[in-house]
Amino acid sequence: MNTHSLQHLKELESESIYILREVVAQFERPAILFSGGKDSIVVSHLAKRAFYPARIPFPLVHIDTGHNFPETILFRDDFVNKMDVDLSVGSVQESIDSGRVTEEVGRNASRNVLQTVTLLDMIRENKFDCMVGGARRDEEKARAKERIFSHRDEFGQWDPKKQRPELWNIFNGRKNLGEHFRVFPISNWTELDVWNYIEQEKIEVPSIYFAHERDVFVRDGVLMAVTDFIKQLADEPVTRKKIRFRTVGDATCTGAIESLADTVARVIEEVAGLRTTERGTRADDKRSETAMEDRKRTGYF
C-alpha cells in the first residue's frame, strides 16, 4: 500500500499546491483556518511547499472554543514558531463574555455551534476574503458535495443549490464586497491519504492522535474523555483505557477510539482496517441526519 501510494500522493500534493497558489493569486486577504488537527496541519505544510522559498504569505486563524485538550494548544504554539507563520486567535469565550452568543446548557452542551459566530466576526474584523480549510469530501455527505472554491454570501451562508459549476481546474473566486470564499485544497484526499502523507513527509501532529492511557466514559455509544468541560453522569462510569483520537475538535464533542496505535505507521495500519468513518466519533455530527449541512449553511467550517 505504501509504495504505490507515494505516486498518488504526489499527484494529490500537486493539485493542492495549485489550489493554494490560486488562492494567493485571486484573493487579497486569505487565511488558513487552523484547528490544530492533522488536516489543517497538512494544509499548512502544503502552503509551505507551494510558496517555498518564500514564507507562507498569509496568517493562520484559530477559532478557540476554550474547550481544548491542552496538548493541542501546546502543539499549536510550537508549530507556529517552527513554521515561521503568523497566528490570529478568535475566542469563543470572548464572544460569550461580550454577549454575542449564549452558552448552551444541558447534558450535551457544546460550544461547537457557537464557533460560527466567532468565526464570522473574525472574518469581518480582519476583512478576510478567503478562508482556507482542511475539510475533505470523504469526511461527510454534505462536504462531498461542496466545491473547492466555495462561495459564502455576506452573511457567511453556504447555499448548496446555488453552487457555481466548477470546471477543469479553472476556479472562479469573483465576489462582491463583504462576501468571502472558503477554499478546500485537500478536498480530494482521504483520511488514509493524509496519514500516508504525514508519514512520507515526517510531519509532526499532536500527541493525542496516538494511543495513550486516559480516563474515559461512554455517552451515546461514544467514548468521551474526562475533562473539566464535560461531566459524566452517575450512570456513566469512568474507566481508564488505552485510546487515541481520530479527529481533534472541541473536547466536548470529540470522541476517542480504543487503540494501540502509538506511531504513524501503526495509525496507517489501523486506519486502513477500520470499519467506521472518521467522524463516526463526532457527537456534533450526530445531532441530526443533516447536522453538517445545516451548520454549513449558516457559515460553519
Partner 1 sequence: MKNTIIRISTAGSVDDGKSTLIGRLLYDSKAIFADQYEALEELSRRRGQDGIDLAMLTDGLRAEREQGITIDVAYRYFATPKRKFILADTPGHIEYTRNMVTGSSTSNVSVILVDARHGVVEQTRRHFFIASLLGIPHIVFCINKMDLVDYAEEVFENIKSGLTKLSEEITKADLYFVPTSALLGDNIVNGSDKMPWYKGDTLMQILENIDISDDHSHVDARFPVQMVIRPQSAEHGDYRGYAGRVAGGSFKSGDLVTILPSGISTKIKSIDTFSMDVVEALAPMSITITLEDDIDVGRGSMIVKQDDKKPVVGQELEIVLCWLNSRELRVGGTYSIRHATNDARCIVQDIKHKIDIATFQQIEDNKQIGMNDIARVSIKTTKPLVYDKYSENRVTGSIILIDENTNETVGAGMIV
Distances (CA, A) of 298 to 42, 44, 160: 26, 25, 11
Least CB distance from residue 153 to partner 1, whole Å? 11
* Inter-axis angle of helices 38-51 and 2-26, nearest 10: 70
Q: Which residue is associated with the grid cell 494529490?
A: 12
In this complex, which beta carbon is closest to partner 1, that of residue 3 or of residue 102?
3
Nearest alpha-carbon partner for 150 in 139, 137, 138: 137
Nearest alpha-carbon partner for 43 in 265, 197, 199, 245: 197
CA pair distance 194, 200, nearest whole angstrom = 10
Least CB distance from residue 93 to partner 1, whole Å? 32
Least CB distance from residue 94 to partner 1, whole Å? 33
In this complex, which beta carbon is closest to partner 1, that of residue 56 or of residue 101?
56
Say which residues have a Cβ less than 8 Å from residue 133's Cβ, sequence separation at least 6. 32, 33, 40, 43, 182, 183, 184, 301
Residues at the contact surface with partner 1, assessed by CB under 8 A: 1, 4-5, 7-8, 10-15, 17-18, 21-22, 24-25, 48-55, 137-138, 141-142, 144-145, 160-161, 163-170, 172, 174-176, 187-188, 190, 192-193, 274-277, 280, 289-290, 293-294
In this complex, which beta carbon is closest to partner 1, that of residue 170 or of residue 234?
170
Least CB distance from residue 237 to partner 1, whole Å? 24
CA pair distance 294, 275, nearest whole angstrom = 26
Least CB distance from residue 160 to partner 1, whole Å? 6
Nearest alpha-carbon partner for 183 in 297, 36, 48, 20: 20
In this complex, which beta carbon is closest to partner 1, that of residue 52 or of residue 155?
52
In this complex, which beta carbon is closest to partner 1, that of residue 263 or of residue 290?
290
Distances (CA, A) of 31 to 43, 180, 204: 11, 11, 21
Q: Are 151 and 179 in contact (CB under 8 A)?
A: yes
Q: Give bridge partners of residue 150 from the DSSP assignment.
A: 182
CA pair distance 220, 84, nearest whole angstrom = 41
In this complex, which beta carbon is closest to partner 1, that of residue 55 or of residue 124?
55
In this complex, which beta carbon is closest to partner 1, that of residue 19 or of residue 264?
19
Least CB distance from residue 38 to partner 1, whole Å? 17
Q: Are 87 and 62 in contact (CB under 8 A)?
A: yes
Q: How many CB atoms lie within 10 A of CB 10?
A: 12
In this complex, which beta carbon is closest to partner 1, that of residue 10 or of residue 29?
10
Phi and psi (nearest 5°) for 83?
-85, -10
Least CB distance from residue 269 to partner 1, whole Å? 15
Least CB distance from residue 223 to partner 1, whole Å? 14
